[in-house]
Amino acid sequence: MQQAYREKRRSDGHLYYDATSDTDLDLKVERLRDELAKLRSAFETWQKEVLARLSITKDEIRELAVAGR
């Protein structure tokens, strides 16, 4: 069952890493932490940019609505 689970994870696009030892596993976990920290930072930057654009868009919509009355 475990082998079938591994194969399914490998083939369905999920991240999956084989570890050959406890030390190898520790290294892979550390690398994933670094990768996730970079991804989290990039996402937060993107999120702030999107929210800033939406905020501007809402203000512009309000101004247009007021001007059209």
pLDDT one-digit tens code per residue, 22-66: 999 999 999 999 999 999 999 999 999 998 888 877 788 788 888
Dihedral over Cα of 23, 24, 25, 28: its sign = positive
Would you say 52 and 60 are in contact if contact means Cβ atoms under 8 Å apart? Answer: no
**pLDDT number for residue 69:** 64
